[in-house]
Amino acid sequence: MAISVSHYGFMPDGKEVKLYSISNNNDVTLQLINLGATLQSLYTPDKYGRVNDITIGFDSLYGHLNFTDYQGKVVGRYANRIANGSFSLGGKKYQLTQNEKDKTCLHSAGEFSDAVWDAIIADDNAVEFSYTSPDGTSGFEGNLTAKVRYTLTEDNKVVIEYSAVCDKDTVMNFTNHVYFNLNGSAMSDVLDHEMQMNASHYVPIDADSIPTGEIREVKGTAFDFNAPCTIGKRIYDNDEQLTLARGYDHNFCLSHKEGEADATVKEPVSGRVLKMYTDLPGVQLYTGNFLDGSVVGKGGMPIVKHAGFCLETQFYPDSPNQPDFPSCVFKAGEEFKSTTVFAVSVEE
Tell me the window of 30-38, 58-66, 197-205, 283-291 that interacts with ligand BGC (CB under 6 A): 283-291
Instruction: State the minimum distance, in angstroms, from the CB of residue 250 to ligand BGC.
Output: 8
CB nearer to ligand BGC: pick between 41 and 287: 287
Among 46, 141, 194, 249, binds ligand BGC (CB under 6 A): 249
Which residues, 206 to 245, sit near ligand BGC by CB under 6 A?
Answer: 209
Instruction: State the minimum distance, in angstroms, from the CB of residue 49 to ligand BGC.
Output: 34
290 binds ligand BGC (CB under 6 A): yes
Site size toward ligand BGC (CB under 6 A) is 9
CA distance 312 to 276: 10
Instruction: State the minimum distance, in angstroms, from the CB of residue 211 to ligand BGC.
Output: 11
What string of H, E and C letters represents the secondary structure of the chain? CEEEEEEEEECCCCCEEEEEEEECCCCCEEEEECECCEEEEEEEECCCCCEEECEECCCCHHHHHHHCCCCCCEECCECCEEHHHEEEECCEEEECCCCECCCEEEHHHHHHHHCECEEEEEECCEEEEEEEECCCHHHCCCCEEEEEEEEECCCCEEEEEEEEEECCCEECECEECCEECCCCCCCCCCCCCEEEECEEEEECECCCCCECCCCEECCCCCCCCCCCEECCCCCCCCCHHHHHHCCCEEEEEECCCCCCCCEEEECCCCCEEEEEEECCCEEEEECCCCCCCCCECHHHCECCCCCCEEEEEECCCCHHHCCCCCCCEECCCCCEEEEEEEEEEECC
CB nearer to ligand BGC: pick between 104 and 151: 104
Instruction: State the minimum distance, in angstroms, from the CB of residue 307 to ligand BGC.
Output: 13
Instruction: State the minimum distance, in angstroms, from the CB of residue 292 to ligand BGC.
Output: 11
179 binds ligand BGC (CB under 6 A): no
Among 111, 141, 194, 312, binds ligand BGC (CB under 6 A): 312
284 binds ligand BGC (CB under 6 A): yes
Among 8, 20, 58, 70, binds ligand BGC (CB under 6 A): 70
Tell me the window of 3-11, 53-61, 135-143, 284-292 that interacts with ligand BGC (CB under 6 A): 284-292
x/- mask, ligand BGC, residues 15-34, rule CB under 6 A, reads --------------------
Site residues, ligand BGC (CB under 6 A): 69-70, 80, 209, 249, 284, 286, 290, 312
